Amino acid sequence: MELSHTMETEELMTCLQIQLYHPQQASKALYRLLPLDARHKHPAEDPLRLGRDAHGCTFALADPRVSRKQLALQAYLTANSPNMLFSVQNLSQKGHVTVNGSELGYLERAELPNKALVRFGEYEVLIRRENGEAKGSFEVQFGVLAVPPSREVGVPSMVPIMDTGSDHSTNGIPPLMSHGPIEMDETIMYQSCSMFLS
C-alpha cells in the first residue's frame, strides 16, 4: 500500500489502518458512515473519536448498540522515539473496550502498539500503524475484514463484551435493555418508558 505524498518536499504521514469486523456486517449497513478504503487526513493534536454520534465523533458507526462516544485515539510524541505514537481511550461509561485482551474502564487509556486488536461490543478492530515523518497530522484508512482479526493476531477468542448496560448474571431473566448501552440520559428515559409498558 502506498503512503500518500503529493510533493517531493512533503513529509510522509503516519497512517493508522483501521480494519473492522462485526459478525452481522453482511446483513447490516454498519459502516455506511465511514469513508472506507480512502485515506483521511487528521490533525495530530485532535483526538480521533469513534462512536455512533456523527456530530460528536470524528467517525461514526451506524449501530444503535455502540455508545455515542465509544473510544478515542490520540496521537502523541516522546523524546525517546522519532515516530508518532497513539493511545486508545474508552469514552463509554457503560460499554467496555479491550486492547489486546486488556480491558479499559471508563476514561482509561492504553498505548497502542504497532498492531493491536481493539474490541467493543461485537466489534473486533485491527489497528496497524505505518510510521511516517510528519508531526502535525496523520492519516486514517478504514477497511472491512471478512473474518475476525482475533484469528490473525492470536488473541484468544472470547465471548464478545455486550454493551447492554445490564448484568448478565440474571439467571435466565431477560436483561433490562438488550438493544444498546444505557447512558445517563438514556437510563432516565428508558426507565420512564418501561413503567408505561409494564
All residues at 6 or more sequence positions from 10 whose CB lies less than 8 Å from its CB, including other chains = 134
**What CATH number does the domain located at 13-146 have?**
2.60.200.20
- What's the angle, vertex CA 161, arms to CA 142 and CA 175, rounded to 5? 130
Instruction: Show the CA angle centred on residue 163, arms to residues 114 and 47, nearest 5°.
Output: 40
| pLDDT at res. 155 | 53
28-32, 91-95, 191-195: range with lowest mean pLDDT: 191-195
Question: In this structure, are residues 113 and 100 in contact, taking their beta carbons and an 8 Å threshold?
Answer: yes
pLDDT digits (tens, 9 = 90+) for 16-70: 999 999 999 988 899 999 999 999 999 999 999 999 999 999 999 999 999 999 9
Residues facing residue 88 across a β-bridge: 73, 110
Question: Each residue of 66-93: b (16+ CB within 10 Å) or e?
Answer: bbbbbbbbbbeeeeeeeebbbebbbbbb
Q: Domain boundaries in the chain?
A: 13-146
Q: What is the pTM assigned to this prediction?
A: 0.73
Q: For the segment 130-186, what is each residue's pLDDT rounded down to a tens digit?
A: 999 999 999 999 999 999 998 865 555 444 444 444 444 444 434 433 444 545 444
To which H or E segment does residue 101 belong? Answer: none
What's the rounded Cα separation, in Å, for the pair 191 and 118?
31
